[in-house]
Amino acid sequence: SNAVNLTDGLDGLAIGCVLITTLILGSVAYLAGHHEFSGYLRISYVPGAGELAVFCAALAGGSLVFLWHNAAPAEIYMGDVGALGIGGALGAVACLMHQPFLLAIVGGVFVLEGVSVILQVAYFKRTGGQRLFLMTPIHHHFQAIGWPSYKVTMRYWIFGIISALLGLTLALIG
C-alpha cells in the first residue's frame, strides 16, 4: 500500500502504473473465477473471483478518468489517502485471489520504488550520512540527474507493462 504512495510523486506516474497492474489483476481474477478457464490454464480456481474482476474493471475505469486529469500538467492530485487506499485495494485483490506474489511481479514499479527507499535509508545509516541515490524514491533520482518528468513517467510505464506481462506469463504457465 505504501509503495503506491511512494510512487505518487510525478504527474501520472502512480495512476498509470496502477492502471496497468489493475488490468492484469482483473484479467487473472476473471480467469480464476471460471472453473473451465482456471482448469484449462492451471490457475487455482477461486469461487467468486469474478466479482474481483468487476471491482478491478471499476478501479481501472476510475484510474483512466483520474489519469485524464492527472497527466502533466496535473489538474488534480491523488495524495496520501488516495494512494494508500488504491495500494490497499490492489493488495486485497491479490490476497483474495490467492495470488499475493503475483502482485509483487505485476507491480514491479511499486517494488522498485519501495526497495529504493529502503536501500537509501539503510545505506545512509550504515555509512553515517552518505547517500546511495541523489534522492528517493528513485524516480526523483532520475529527475535529479536531468531526466524530464515526462521521460521518467513514460519509462516507468514501459517498465510497468513489462512487469505486468511477465507476471501474467508466469501466472499462466505456473
Q: Exposed, middle or buried, 1 (CB in 10 Å: 0-12/13-18/19+)? A: middle
- The mean per-residue pLDDT over the stretch 159-173 comes to 95
Q: Render pLDDT for 31-44 as a digit per residue (tens, 0 to 9).
A: 999 999 988 988 88
Query: Cell triple for residue 48?
Result: 467468486
Q: What's the whole-model pTM score? A: 0.94
Instruction: Identify the band that residue 162 occupies on the pLDDT scale cut at 50, 70 and 90.
Output: very high
Q: What pLDDT score was predicted for residue 172?
A: 87
- The mean per-residue pLDDT over the stretch 107-116 comes to 97
- Name the DSSP letter for residue 130: -
- Name the DSSP letter for residue 72: S
